[in-house]
């Protein structure tokens, strides 16, 4: 077998320009596919992380009625007990209880519908990135009367800046309309521009006081140390608090779950298409090789090289070509991904700012989907075998006496 | 001892609608140690006969025996193995493996036979020495002259210790000096090692040195001459 390997390897380099051309095609094709995939994976991860860390968290607790009728009066039952359980659970990294109500924000000249989130600033800062998204003014603090954080988009529309006064109007737990004056303490910009336009954050204590129920909590968002701990935590909470709706991130935001499951598969399809195109190039090269070497292959069979060995030789030649090209493409991809995963790729110059509408930053950090490398190896091997089959079969069909004529 | 025997060997090629009889009832016996030339005009059936004897093609009718083994009708896979162990081939256009050096080309047949590695290299060197190319062992075919390549081909043909060597027009592409050198080597191997050699040739230089000359015309043996040399 060693000799067959040696012959196959040397045969690859018999026609250097031709071999180098196909090697380059494989390398560049694979590099393009892998790099595009890694950019997509980087975007998906950013979207996922951003969604988890700015809004969804790993799991959320609600009163089931609140999910059907978005009314502040449907607070979580035994919320204090749930908070105690979460505080004692070592797998929980942080949690944030929120009081939520839909209402209107008004300035002297403009009015707009918003969702008002009453948060505990300390809990929220530990659970989400909210405190890090302040671009002007400051994050919510314990001091001061009725501070509010608003998104940059909303601030621009309402022409607000830190220190500006606004009126928030909403209904309390009894259904009565309540209005209160708030002062803009900070302006935030998250990677979710839609949220930046539709959500405002106030202190939970202030909102609870205004709604007439000083203990009402509508949502508890929980961040785990590790995503693998989510399912056990959901199960445990469901057992302990059956009256509450406990949902993991995939149930809260099905598009995240779908995106996670589909993104890898979609990119794999892209790579399969690329490899399929390359397979035709390889097939063409190997067919030329077989036709050019008809006499030589015939001679090999004449002198006693059996069909298995002839087949193996063609298969090995194709595999060497593919693997060498794939290795070059892999190394190129590895270097490119390694560098860009540190520096990031700035898409802001090509309309990348619109990415933030989808929760993705304009600077993308490429990375590979888990298990992607293994799939690439399998795909490369499959491509080489598929490309080799037809030429190898052709070689086997040569009749020795005719081949050497 | 008869190494090759044929019995009413015939081959008909179906070229389009007109069948072409390449061999007609050829009965032939080749003994061990013979140096035989098969001669005849183009299209007389020389190459067809060699292909049949070498198991490269199957006859339309008749039988071929190598020693006592009938190779007609033998399965392809068995035939390949039979060729590997019993028949050496020398081709008109050398047909060496271009990516292997001279010694690797000679060793190749032994590798296919799973020859022990230590003995293989020793024998390959001996064979190259016998054909006068010991100093070209590590040179690839494209850097050898035609005559040298054909000598490597002869060494390769002998590497498996075959029962006989078939050579199809071995001197056709060689200049006079190279052809004489090759013939000298083959004659010496025939005499000293008792190797059975069977040529198809047009070359008078080969015919003059052969100890037996079989003449084919239109696929039939018309003359079979033995010479004392």
Query: Who has greater pLDDT, B228 or A103?
Result: A103
Give the pLDDT confidence score for residue A134 in this predicted structure.
94
Domain boundaries, chain B: 34-52+87-226
Give the pLDDT confidence score for residue B68 in this predicted structure.
86
d(CA B9, CA B62): 4
Contact A305 B112 (CB under 8 A): yes
* pLDDT for A351 beyond 70: no
Q: Which of B66, B79, B91 to mutate to test the interface with A (most CBs of A within 10 A)?
A: B91
Domain boundaries, chain A: 2-52+257-403, 64-243
Contact A14, B98 (CB under 8 A): yes
d(CA B133, CA B127): 9
Classify burial at B177, counting beta carbons within 10 Å of its beta carbon; exposed 0-12, middle 13-18, buried 19 or more.
exposed
Contact A306 B93 (CB under 8 A): no
What are the start-end ranges of the E strands in chain B?
Answer: 2-15, 18-31, 35-39, 61-66, 69-70, 87-90, 164-168, 196-200, 212-217, 220-226
CA angle A307, A308, A311 (to 5 degrees): 80
Give the pLDDT confidence score for residue A239 in this predicted structure.
95
Three-class secondary structure of residue A266 per DSSP: helix
Q: How many CB atoms lie within 10 A of CB B228?
A: 4
Give the pLDDT confidence score for residue B179 in this predicted structure.
84
Q: Which of B59, B90, B108 to mutate to test the interface with A (most CBs of A within 10 A)?
A: B108
Q: Which conformational region is residue A72 in: left (phi greater than 0), alpha (psi within -120 to 50 degrees), or beta?
A: alpha
* pLDDT for B208 beyond 60: yes
Contact A296 B93 (CB under 8 A): no
Nearest to B221 by CA among B64, B20, B13, B45: B45
* pLDDT for B161 beyond 60: yes
Residues of A in contact with B56 (CB under 8 A): 302, 400-401, 404
Report pLDDT digits (tens) over A146-177. Answer: 999 999 999 999 999 999 999 999 999 888 99
Classify burial at A290, counting beta carbons within 10 Å of its beta carbon; exposed 0-12, middle 13-18, buried 19 or more.
buried
Which of A181-195, A341-355, B28-42, B87-101 is the least confident region? A341-355
Alpha carbons within 13 angstroms on the beta-carbon side of residue A172 total 16
Residues of B in contact with A16 (CB under 8 A): none
Residues of B in contact with A305 (CB under 8 A): 80, 84, 112
Report pLDDT digits (tens) over A56-90. Answer: 899 999 999 999 998 999 999 999 999 999 999 99
Give bridge partners of residue A364 from the DSSP assignment: A345
Among the partner residues B85, B91, B100, nearest to A7 by beta-carbon distance: B100
Report pLDDT digits (tens) over B6-26. Answer: 999 999 987 667 788 889 999
Residues of A with CB under 8 A from a CB of B: 3, 6-7, 10-11, 14, 295-296, 299-307, 309, 399-401, 404
Give the pLDDT confidence score for residue B52 in this predicted structure.
92
Give the pLDDT confidence score for residue A298 in this predicted structure.
84
Q: Please give the structure tokens belonging to residue A84.
A: 């105690």
Contact A10 B100 (CB under 8 A): yes
Q: Which of B23, B45, B56, B90 to mutate to test the interface with A (most CBs of A within 10 A)?
A: B56
Contact A7 B97 (CB under 8 A): yes
Tell me the ipTM for this assembly: 0.81
What is Dmax (Cα atoms) for chain B? 55
Contact B81 A14 (CB under 8 A): no
Give the pLDDT confidence score for residue A354 in this predicted structure.
67
Alpha helices by DSSP H, listed for A293-359, are: 294-302, 307-343
CATH of B34-52+87-226, one of 3.10.20.70, 1.20.140.10, 1.10.10.10, 3.40.50.300: 3.40.50.300
Contact B54, B79 (CB under 8 A): no
Report pLDDT digits (tens) over A179-217. Answer: 999 999 999 998 777 888 999 999 999 999 999 888 899
Q: Please give the structure tokens belonging to residue B74.
A: 């033998």
Among the partner residues A305, A306, A404, nearest to B91 by beta-carbon distance: A404
The b/e string for B181-212 (b: 16+ C-beta within 10 A; e otherwise) is: bbbebbbebbeeeebbbbbbbebeebbebbbb
In angstroms and rounded to an integer, the radius of gyration of the C-alpha atoms of chain B is 17
d(CA A102, CA A295): 83
Which of A375-384, A393-402, B133-142, B186-195 is the least confident region? A393-402
* pLDDT for A352 beyond 60: no
User: What's the Cα-to-Cα distance from A281 to each of A276, A329, B43, rounded to whole Å?
Assistant: 9, 16, 41
Instruction: For chain A, give percent helix, strand, coil, nearest 5.
Output: 60, 20, 20
Mean pLDDT calculated for residue range B81-105: 89
d(CA B129, CA B155): 9
| Sheet order of strands, B2-15 included | B18-31, B2-15, B61-66, B69-70
d(CA A26, CA A21): 9
Percent of chain A with pLDDT over 90: 43
Q: Are strands A199-203 and A111-119 parallel, antiparallel or unpaired?
A: parallel
Contact A296 B95 (CB under 8 A): yes
Nearest to B229 by CA among B211, B216, B212, B215: B211
Give the pLDDT confidence score for residue A118 in this predicted structure.
96
Q: How confident is the model at residue B229 (pLDDT cuts 50, 70, 90)?
A: low
Contact B108 A301 (CB under 8 A): no
Give the pLDDT confidence score for residue A182 in this predicted structure.
96
Give the pLDDT confidence score for residue A3 in this predicted structure.
75
Residues of A in contact with B109 (CB under 8 A): 303-304
Contact A302 B84 (CB under 8 A): no
Contact A306 B109 (CB under 8 A): no
Per the prediction, chain B carries an average pLDDT of 89
d(CA A222, CA B74): 77
Give the pLDDT confidence score for residue A355 in this predicted structure.
65
CA angle B215, B221, B227 (to 5 degrees): 45
Per the prediction, chain A carries an average pLDDT of 88
């Amino acid at each position: 077998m060693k000799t067959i390997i040696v012959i196959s390897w040397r045969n690859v380099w018999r026609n250097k320009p031709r071999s180098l051309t196909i090697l380059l095609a494989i390398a560049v094709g694979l590099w393009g596919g892998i790099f595009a995939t890694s950019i997509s994976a980087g975007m998906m991860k950013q979207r996922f992380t951003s969604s988890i860390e700015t809004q969804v968290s790993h799991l959320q607790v609600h009163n089931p009625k609140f999910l059907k009728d978005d009314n502040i009066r449907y607070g979580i039952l035994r919320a204090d007990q749930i908070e105690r359980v979460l505080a004692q659970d070592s797998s929980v990294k942080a949690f944030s209880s929120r009081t939520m109500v839909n209402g209107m924000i008004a300035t002297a000249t403009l009015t707009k519908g918003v969702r008002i989130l009453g948060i505990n600033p300390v809990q929220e800062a530990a659970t989400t990135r909210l405190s890090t998204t302040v671009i002007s003014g400051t994050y919510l603090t314990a001091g001061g009367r009725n501070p509010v954080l608003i998104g940059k988009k909303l601030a621009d529309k309402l022409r607000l800046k830190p220190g500006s006064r606004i009126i928030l109007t909403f209904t309390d737990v009894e259904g009565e309309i309540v209005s209160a004056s708030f002062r803009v303490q900070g302006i935030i910009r998250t990677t979710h521009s839609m949220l930046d336009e539709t959500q405002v954050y106030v202190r939970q204590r202030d909102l609870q006081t205004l709604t007439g129920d000083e203990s009402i909590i509508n949502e508890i968002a929980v961040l785990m140390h590790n995503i693998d701990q989510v399912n056990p935590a959901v199960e445990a909470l469901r057992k302990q608090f059956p009256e509450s709706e406990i949902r993991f991130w995939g149930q809260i935001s099905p598009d995240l779950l779908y995106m996670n499951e589909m993104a890898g598969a979609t990119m794999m399809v892209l790579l399969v298409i690329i490899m399929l195109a390359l397979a035709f190039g390889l097939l063409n090269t190997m067919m030329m090789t077989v036709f050019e070497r008809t006499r030589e292959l015939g001679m090999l069979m004449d002198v006693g090289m059996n069909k298995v060995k002839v087949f193996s030789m063609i298969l090995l030649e194709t595999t060497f070509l593919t693997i060498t090209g794939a290795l070059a493409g892999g190394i190129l991809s590895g270097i490119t991904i390694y560098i860009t995963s540190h520096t990031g790729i700035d898409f802001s110059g090509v309309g990348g700012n619109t990415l933030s509408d989808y929760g993705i930053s304009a600077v993308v950090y490429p990375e590979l989907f888990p298990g992607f490398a293994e799939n690439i190896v399998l795909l490369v091997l499959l491509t080489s075998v598929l490309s080799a089959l037809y030429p190898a079969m052709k070689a086997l069909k040569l009749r020795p006496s005719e081949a050497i004529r | 001892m008869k190494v090759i025997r044929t019995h009413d060997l015939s081959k008909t090629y179906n070229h389009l609608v007109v069948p072409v009889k390449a061999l007609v009832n050829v009965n032939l016996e080749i003994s061990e140690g013979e140096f035989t030339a098969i001669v005849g005009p183009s299209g007389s059936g020389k190459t067809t006969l060699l292909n049949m004897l070498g198991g490269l093609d199957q006859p339309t009718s008749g039988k071929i025996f190598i020693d006592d083994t009938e190779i007609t009708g033998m399965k392809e896979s068995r035939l390949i193995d039979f060729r590997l162990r019993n028949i050496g081939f020398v081709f008109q256009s050398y047909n060496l493996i271009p990516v292997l050096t001279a010694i690797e080309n000679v060793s190749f047949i032994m590798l296919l036979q799973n020859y022990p590695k230590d003995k293989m290299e020793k024998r390959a060197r001996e064979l190259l020495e016998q054909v006068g190319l010991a100093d070209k062992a590590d040179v690839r075919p494209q850097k050898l002259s035609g005559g040298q390549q054909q000598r490597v081909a002869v060494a390769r043909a002998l590497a498996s210790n075959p029962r006989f060597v078939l050579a199809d027009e071995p001197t056709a592409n060689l200049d006079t000096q190279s052809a004489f050198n090759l013939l000298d080597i083959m004659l010496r191997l025939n005499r000293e090692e008792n190797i059975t050699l069977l040529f198809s040739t047009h070359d008078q230089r080969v015919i003059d040195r052969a100890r037996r000359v079989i003449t084919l015309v239109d696929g039939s043996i018309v003359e079979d001459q033995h010479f004392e040399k």
